[in-house]
């Protein structure tokens, strides 16, 4: 069975992908006066980097953001012309390609900066100084800020780089508590003061991602980075956003079984009454979490039906009760909130994870429809 018929990740029926992204960006715009950078990493959070980027720009996003230079260059190749920032490149990223593509590069250490400018063009690559504001994950540690800023000022004087941005990350933004964000805000302000004192002016400063954008204006500075929110995920849980996709699959097999029938590998589930079981052709190889709670379900004909037995590599079994479901019937695994259709938030709860892992984990066999 080919990937073009086994499953589908499609825009929701009631709202297209561009409409959902536009609606979510409108919510973000109402919360901030800062510029909005639309983050389209992880292939647009599993929805396709190019279509998500196009929809975001059409809806008014000022910038785009990716993890690495290759992702950014792919957006340029697709015809997107707005400023792009990339902030997780291996040492020695191609500065010439970045400069030629008009792509900004974040640097978080003196070593990263030295490797980048060693390959810089005479015009210099545009850089954002990336400082650690409390994550201890990426960005320059506070003890090394002076060295990085001094090196960046030297690179700018020699025409190797243009310092145009300053960035950090909020470690506790999902708590939706400005008090929790205050230490990171203070650190970034301190870094901005040091950059200004080094004669580098006041670069475009940005700290907040989706949660900060939606909950705390003090974190917004000159720009916010809105990524998960584009596709309907609010990690803070404070704002109802619009789901941007619907995952569907056809029923490929349906059968009547008696009470006491073991289902799936290991027979971990046994039917308690006579019922009908339907098979959907997707499983953990397609991004369906293997460990899910007994509540996990799909929607068929406007009703929820439980998934029973273990999730297999490429199959799940659904108990449809007293009514048989003909092969070819469409089941909806997740989609926008409508009171019946499971959402990515439901799936995250059933799998004990976060919505991000649900949408970014969809496998390559799933066909994406425009």
Tell which of 231, 255, 281 closes a domain: 231
Residue 207 and residue 81 in one domain: yes
Collapsed DSSP state (helix, strand, coil) of residue 10: strand
CA–CA separation, 314 and 307 (whole Å): 14
Indicate if the pLDDT at residue 328 is higher than 50.
yes
Residue 275 and residue 324 in one domain: yes
Indicate if the pLDDT at residue 2 is higher than 50.
no
Q: pLDDT class for 4, splitting at 50, 70, 90?
A: very low
Q: What is the pLDDT, as a whole number, of residue 1?
A: 23
Number of domains in the chain: 2
Average pLDDT in the chain:
93
In a domain, 1, yes or no: no
CA–CA separation, 38 and 360 (whole Å): 17
**Can you give the CATH number for the domain in which 165 is found?**
3.20.20.10
Q: What percent of the chain has pLDDT over 90?
A: 88
Residue 72 and residue 154 in one domain: yes
pLDDT for 227-270, tens place per residue?
999 999 999 999 999 999 899 999 999 999 999 999 999 999 99
In a domain, 57, yes or no: yes
In a domain, 26, yes or no: no
Q: What is the pLDDT, as a whole number, of residue 234?
A: 98
Q: What is the pLDDT, as a whole number, of residue 334?
A: 96
In a domain, 143, yes or no: yes
CA–CA separation, 64 and 37 (whole Å): 5
- What Rg, from alpha-carbon coordinates, does the chain have? 24
Residue 189 and residue 312 in one domain: no
Q: pLDDT class for 323, splitting at 50, 70, 90?
A: confident
Q: pLDDT class for 12, splitting at 50, 70, 90?
A: very low
Residue 227 and residue 141 in one domain: yes
CA–CA separation, 262 and 268 (whole Å): 7
Q: What is the pLDDT, as a whole number, of residue 14?
A: 35
**DSSP string covering 144-211, please?**
GHHHHHHHHHHHHHTTSEEEEEEE---TTGGG--HHHHHHHHHHHHHHHHHHHHTT----EEE---HH
CA atoms within 13 A on the CB side of 320: 24
Q: What is the pLDDT, as a whole number, of residue 13?
A: 40
330 Cβ neighbours under 8 A, 6+ residues apart: 248, 249, 250, 251, 300
**Can you give the CATH number for the domain in which 281 is found?**
2.40.37.10
Q: What is the pLDDT, as a whole number, of residue 124?
A: 85
Indicate if the pLDDT at residue 369 is higher than 90.
no
With 0-12 / 13-18 / 19 or more C-beta atoms within 10 angstroms meaning exposed / middle / buried, residue 68 is: middle
> Can you give the residue range of the structural domain that contains 195?
32-231
CB atoms within 10 A of CB 280: 27
Residue 165 and residue 309 in one domain: no
Residue 190 and residue 68 in one domain: yes
In a domain, 281, yes or no: yes
In a domain, 236, yes or no: no
Query: Angle at the Cα of 29 (from 23 to 33), degrees rounded to 5?
Result: 175
In a domain, 349, yes or no: yes
* End-to-end Cα, the chain, rounded Å: 22
Residue 288 and residue 139 in one domain: no
Residue 215 and residue 261 in one domain: no
The residues carrying an active-site annotation are 41, 265
To the question of whether residue 310 is assigned a binding role by annotation, the answer is: no
pLDDT for 78-122, tens place per residue?
999 999 999 998 766 888 999 999 999 999 999 999 999 887 777
Residue 267 and residue 171 in one domain: no
**Phi then psi for 308, rounded to 5 degrees?**
-125, 150
Tell which of 170, 200, 231 closes a domain: 231
CA–CA separation, 170 and 173 (whole Å): 6
Q: What is the pLDDT, as a whole number, of residue 15?
A: 58
Q: What is the pLDDT, as a whole number, of residue 10?
A: 56
Residue 276 and residue 301 in one domain: yes
Collapsed DSSP state (helix, strand, coil) of residue 222: coil
282 Cβ neighbours under 8 A, 6+ residues apart: 6, 7, 249, 288, 314, 315, 316, 333, 365, 366
Q: What percent of the chain has pLDDT over 70?
A: 95
Indicate if the pLDDT at residue 136 is higher than 70.
yes
To the question of whether residue 187 is assigned a binding role by annotation, the answer is: no
Would you mind telling me the total number of residues written for the chain in this entry?
370
Global confidence as pTM: 0.93
From the list 151, 101, 96, 147, the residue with the least C-alpha distance to 124 is 96
In a domain, 10, yes or no: no
Residue 225 and residue 250 in one domain: no
Query: Angle at the Cα of 187 (from 174 to 204), degrees rounded to 5?
Result: 85
């Amino acid at each position: 069975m080919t990937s073009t018929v086994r499953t589908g990740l499609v825009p929701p029926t009631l709202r297209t992908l561009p409409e959902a992204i536009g609606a979510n960006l409108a919510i973000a715009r109402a919360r901030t006066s800062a510029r909005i950078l639309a983050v389209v990493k992880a292939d647009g959070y599993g929805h396709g980097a190019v279509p998500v980027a196009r929809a975001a720009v059409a809806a008014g996003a000022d910038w785009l953001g990716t993890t690495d230079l290759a992702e950014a260059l792919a957006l340029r190749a697709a015809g997107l012309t707005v400023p792009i920032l990339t902030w997780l490149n291996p040492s020695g990223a191609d500065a010439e390609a970045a400069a030629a593509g008009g792509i900004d590069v974040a640097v978080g250490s003196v070593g990263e900066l030295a490797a980048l400018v060693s390959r810089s063009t005479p015009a210099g690559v545009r850089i954002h100084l990336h400082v650690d504001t409390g994550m201890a994950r990426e960005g320059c540690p506070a003890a090394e800020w002076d060295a990085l800023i001094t090196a960046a000022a030297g690179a700018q004087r020699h025409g190797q780089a243009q310092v145009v941005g300053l960035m950090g990350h909020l470690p506790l933004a999902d708590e939706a508590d400005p008090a929790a964000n205050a230490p990171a805000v203070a650190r970034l302000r301190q870094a901005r003061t040091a950059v200004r004192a080094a004669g580098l002016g006041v670069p475009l400063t940005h700290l907040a991602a989706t949660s900060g954008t939606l909950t705390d204006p003090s974190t917004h500075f000159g720009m916010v980075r809105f990524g998960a929110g584009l596709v309907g995920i609010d990690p803070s849980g404070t704002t109802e956003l619009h789901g941007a996709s619907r995952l569907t699959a056809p029923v490929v097999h349906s059968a009547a079984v008696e009470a006491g029938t073991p289902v799936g590998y290991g027979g971990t589930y046994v039917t308690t009454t006579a019922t009908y079981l339907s098979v959907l052709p997707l499983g953990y190889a397609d991004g369906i979490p293997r460990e899910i709670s007994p509540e996990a379900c799909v929607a068929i004909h406007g009703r929820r039906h439980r998934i029973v037995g273990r999730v297999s590599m490429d199959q799940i079994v659904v108990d449809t009760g007293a009514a048989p479901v003909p092969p070819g019937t469409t089941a909806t695994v997740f989609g926008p909130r409508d009171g019946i259709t499971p959402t990515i938030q439901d799936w995250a709860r059933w799998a004990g994870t976060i919505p991000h892992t649900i949408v970014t984990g969809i496998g390559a066999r799933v066909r994406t429809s425009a």
